[in-house]
Structures are given as C-alpha cells and as structure tokens.
Chain A
Amino acid sequence: DAGVIQSPRHEVTEMGQEVTLRCKPISGHNSLFWYRQTMMRGLELLIYFNNNVPIDDSGMPEDRFSAKMPNASFSTLKIQPSEPRDSAVYFCASRIGLLDRGDNGYTFGSGTRLTVV
C-alpha cells in the first residue's frame, strides 16, 4: 500500500495566486481529513469528508479556502487568492469510517509545504 499520497511536496507561489493541493487517500478508506500545521498554531483540522461528503468545514479559515472530494480516491484543497499567512504544511489523512473503534487510527500523508511570498 502506497499510503496517503499528497502532491506537490513543496509549493512556492506569489501572493494572490491560486494554489491547489492534492490528496489520494488509502484505497478503502472512506474518511478524509485536511490539516494545516504551523509553528504558532500547531496542527489544525480544516475540513473532513465521509463517503466523499463534507461533514465539518468549521476549521476552514476563510472563504478563500475550499475543498472538494469528487470521488473516493481524490481530494483537493484550494486557496484563492493565496496570502503569506497561508504559508504552512498541509497534511491530508484518511481512515475507515468515523467512529473510534479502537483500531489503528488515521494515516497521514507526508504533507505539502506551502510558501506564499
């Protein structure tokens, strides 16, 4: 299993540009999560999906952020327009279901390091 795959690994863009981050969850995992990590705020949950449906987007910071999951094997997180304060590492994670059943938890991708200049 290739794990959760995120692309790109690094992204440098200019302020005002559109940025699209991509995630491929583990096959068979029907829940997908987007997190953002910064030194100041730590790991923040932005949005999560279950069976391709957004369940909770209360962590999305602003309307500039949007996320989609058109099918079970792909999700995108888009920032338009990007700002320097969006610079962070963005992680995608997936798991089977939502309920905590004492299993092995979430699998995270390696993240996308976004720098907005």
Chain B
Amino acid sequence: LAKTTQPISMDSYEGQEVNITCSHNNIATNDYITWYQQFPSQGPRFIIQGYKTKVTNEVASLFIPADRKSSTLSLPRVSLSDTAVYYCLVGRGNTGKLIFGQGTTLQVKP
C-alpha cells in the first residue's frame, strides 16, 4: 500500500477555503485516492474519492495532478463544524485493507 504524507495540523478561519495536500509518491496504477473526515467521538466518514483530475461533490473537491503523486482536498468556505481530523488514504489493491495514517487536524477558528 502506498505511503501517504500530510501535514499534522492546520488552522483556518471561518469562511476561508482550506486546501490539504497529501503526498503519495508510490501510488500504484490501480490505486484510488480517498479522504475521510473524523469528528471527536465519532468514526471516520467518507468525504470524497478520485482517481485522476478533479472530483467534486457537495462537501469538497479533490484535485489530482497528472502524475498522481499528490492530491489536494479542498474545503470551500469552512465553518467551525469542519474542525476535524482529515485522513488521506491511497489504494487497497485487492486486499480490502484500509490503512489510516496520522491525518491532518484542521482547527477552524471564528
């Protein structure tokens, strides 16, 4: 499974756009890139998944460059309720394993 590297923590203010970048230099051809969000005292929640270029849903956008060695999760106009830990995960092959890294703790301030 490809190793991922993301910032340990980030601060932002309400209304700002937040971009969290994840590095995954060893991503394999068939790997997808997935982001999860975890609030305190809750299990992780799927946010978005992509393979290449750009994916957008009602929560976030995911930008993936052509070489796929990194990806950027973009949260538009964050609010206090977006304070959470965000995990970037890459690939599972056909093993079914979902391995979490340390994640990025996002703190949104008023």
- Seen from chain A, the residues whose Cβ lies within 8 Å of a Cβ on chain B are 4, 31, 33, 35, 42-43, 45, 48, 50, 55-56, 91, 93, 98-100, 102-111, 113
Assess whether A106 is in contact with B98, with CB atoms less than 8 Å apart.
yes
Assess whether A48 is in contact with B46, with CB atoms less than 8 Å apart.
no
B: contact size bracket: 20 to 34
Residues of A within 8 Å of B97, CB to CB, are 45, 48, 56
Closest A residue to B35 by CB, please name it.
A105
Can you offer 9 A-B residue contacts whose CB atoms are under 8 A?
A35-B100, A42-B102, A55-B96, A91-B44, A98-B94, A104-B46, A108-B44, A109-B43, A111-B41
8 nearest A-B residue pairs (beta carbon):
A108-B43, A98-B96, A105-B46, A43-B100, A91-B43, A100-B32, A100-B92, A108-B44
- Seen from chain B, the residues whose Cβ lies within 8 Å of a Cβ on chain A are 30-32, 34, 36, 41-46, 49, 51, 87, 91-103
Q: Smallest Cβ distance from A30 to chain B, in angstroms?
A: 11
| The residue from B32, B45, B95 contacting A102, defined by CB atoms under 8 A apart | B32
Q: Smallest Cβ distance from B55 to chain A, in angstroms?
A: 9
Q: Smallest Cβ distance from A112 to chain B, in angstroms?
A: 11
Q: Smallest Cβ distance from A97 to chain B, in angstroms?
A: 8
Task: Give Cα distance in the complex from A31 to B96, angstroms.
Answer: 9
Residues of A within 8 Å of B45, CB to CB, are 108
Q: Smallest Cβ distance from B49 to chain A, in angstroms?
A: 6
Residues of B within 8 Å of A31, CB to CB, are 96
Closest A residue to B30 by CB, please name it.
A100
